[in-house]
Amino acid sequence: MRYFLEFAYKGTNYHGWQYQPNATSVQETLTKAITTILKTEIDLVGAGRTDSGVHAKQMFAHFDYELEIDVHYLTHKLNSFLAKDIAILDFHKVHDDAHARFDAKKRTYEYHIHTKKDVFESDNSWYYQHDLNVDKMNEACKILFNYIDFECFSKVHTDVNTFNCTIFEANWKQVNDRLVFTISADRFLRNMVRAIVGTMITIGLEKISLQDFIQIIESKDRNKAGFSVPAHGLYLTKVEYPFLRI
């Protein structure tokens, strides 16, 4: 039987989701925990990979197990077993061919910035104190909907067949000292959200224009786009599947 594991994690102490040969990953930590408790070797396949330091408010991984799972028991047991920076949210029994990565139809990320120094946010949000033109940054968001090829925001030398992504939502919202960028798409390239945010920061600083932003996208050249913002402000907030109603 195939199950989807729904979970969340604070990425500060992990080198991303995916297995790393000489570093601690979320995938390795979760796999060891479930294998220990179920007393059988478990192989977890994630919905995607997050970089070192990136957080997830909702993430999924699938695995196969021959017996019926007691969801409440296993959730409680794992949450007691795991460190405080990983939380098991639920288990979902799915059809045998369901795939956590390939069946995801929509993913949503948020990037958090705080503009006033806050000692409690140092691991959870990027402190950036310069004044930004948020209206201009939202104008740049509208430009994203006109394109599907985002090679200019992709990490170079990645093993992808296409740089095409369909963006469903992109906007900036500011409430007092908190600035949050939200973006949803069918898929994301490596480092894509952090590169988009960094480029929009330069727009907010009025160092480049909206026309420059268009030219950057059309160039398909990562060197022409802006800097990559720090990982600790980035959150994977939602992954959606056609067969799951959560």
CB 71 within 8 A of CB 112: no
Tokens 């990562």 identify what position? 222
How many angstroms separate the CA atoms of 102 and 94, rounded?
Answer: 14
Rounded to 5°, angle at Cα 244 from 239 and 246? 75
Catalytically active residues are 51
CB 238 within 8 A of CB 211: no
**Residues paired with 86 in a beta bridge:** 9
Rounded to 5°, angle at Cα 107 from 145 and 148? 30
CB 153 within 8 A of CB 140: no
Of 133, 114, 113, 112, residue with least CA distance to 207: 133
